[in-house]
Amino acid sequence: MAGRFVVSAASVADLQRVAAAARELAGADGRVEAVALQGDGGLAPAGAAAEQVAAALGGLADALVVYDGAGAWLRGDVWAACLLDALGDGADGLFVADAPAAREAAGRVAAARGASCASMCDAVTRGADGLVATRSIYGGVADGSISLPLAPAVCLFAAGKYEGEASGAAPAVERRRAPAPAYQAEWVAEEPVVKTVDLAAAPVVVSVGRGFAKAEDIELVKPLLERLGAELGCSRPIAEDFKWLPQERQVGLTGVTVSPGLYVALGISGQVQHLAGIKGARVVVSVNNDARAPITRNADYVVVGDLYKVVPELVAALS
């Protein structure tokens, strides 16, 4: 085993996860080095001072390299420049937790190093020829094994697949100066996005799909949400095409990945991209008037019927 791995992430919890993944491959003899960016405050991980980051990495990482002067916001190109510097002569793998700026950072590093790269990795193991990543392909139809022969294997990890907890002494912190950006980007404005729901953590999720004829009809689901203590989710067309619900409620590969105890799909056909987002659900229920919809083959309990009639009956039965 052994080997050298460099890890980085946009949040402390994610950094612990990717460090845990690297630790598993590096073993006790190998070396795991974490990279953090600081600018006007903590950037990667966000909002964390170097000491806090180091404390969270006890037992997980052997060193923490902090790049100061990385700017006012997390830029993918600056992140990439720091990672390239940290990689130095080379490493077996560069593990980064998936996030928008992380994709730019990973893509740039892989291109600059002529390396192999895969995103949305669920797991990474050692293969005959370098590392092998397991990830969803064709929108969730299959789980593919992707061989990454060119070091450093740049892997972007999907959220929440690894768990990492600090144990033991914090690694030593080395401070370096972030490389200057290759171009000037002007910060024009920034407004906070108010998140009203955390679907990923909800114990019960009821999602609506194209079986609903108009936006107002979603009101029908409100009493059901109350009875079940559920959060409201939706399929892609409801958020993206019709814009009846905000993006934060979209369940699926390009939306939120959920893992509730109970998932109720109302009028959702069950495209693979949607199914990929509910893999972690314990019990899946479908109410759909089309018996041939893919969701009926991918649910535990199937009610073939008119949701406009079934939902009120469900509410009554739960009362």
Partner 1 sequence: MRILVIAKHVVDSTEIRWDEARGEVLLRNLPTKISDYDRNALEAAVVIKEGGDLVDLDVLMVGGEPALKTLKEALAMGADKGYLVDGGWDDPFDPLRTACVLAQVVGGLEEPDVILGGLVSEDGYNGISGPALAQLLDWPYVAPVLEIEAGDGWVQAVLDGGDVRRTVKVPTPCVVGVDSQMNVPRLPTVLQVMKVKSDRTVKVPLGDADTSATTTLVGAKSGAVERRKIVLDGSPQESAAKLVESLRQEGVL
Considering only residues 58 to 77 of the shown chain, the ones binding partner 1 according to CB under 8 A are 73, 76-77
Q: Which member of 132, 178, 245, 268 binds partner 1 (CB under 8 A)?
A: 132
Residue 232 in contact with partner 1, rule: CB under 8 A: no
**Minimum CB distance to partner 1 smaller for 172 or for 316:** 316
CA 127 to chain centre: 24
Residue 176 in contact with partner 1, rule: CB under 8 A: no
Burial of residue 166 (CB within 10 Å: 0-12, 13-18, 19+) is middle
> What 8-state DSSP symbol labels residue 166?
-
* In the complex, least distance from residue 251 CB atom to partner 1, rounded to whole angstroms: 14
* In the complex, least distance from residue 27 CB atom to partner 1, rounded to whole angstroms: 23
Contact 148, 90 (CB under 8 A): no
Q: Which member of 28, 180, 182, 213 binds partner 1 (CB under 8 A)?
A: 182
| Tokens (6 digits) for 197 | 């729901």
Which x/- pattern, by CB under 8 A, does the window 84-123 give for partner 1? ---------------xxx-xxxxxx-xxx-xxxxxxx---
Which single residue is written with the structure tokens 């509410």? 315
Which x/- pattern, by CB under 8 A, does the window 258-297 give for partner 1? ---xx--------xxx-xx--x--xxxx----------xx
Distance CA 280, CA 273 (A): 14
Q: Which member of 30, 69, 160, 305 binds partner 1 (CB under 8 A)?
A: 305
Whether the upstream peptide bond of residue 152 has omega within 30° of 0, thus cis, is: yes
Residue 36 in contact with partner 1, rule: CB under 8 A: no
Contact 19, 54 (CB under 8 A): no
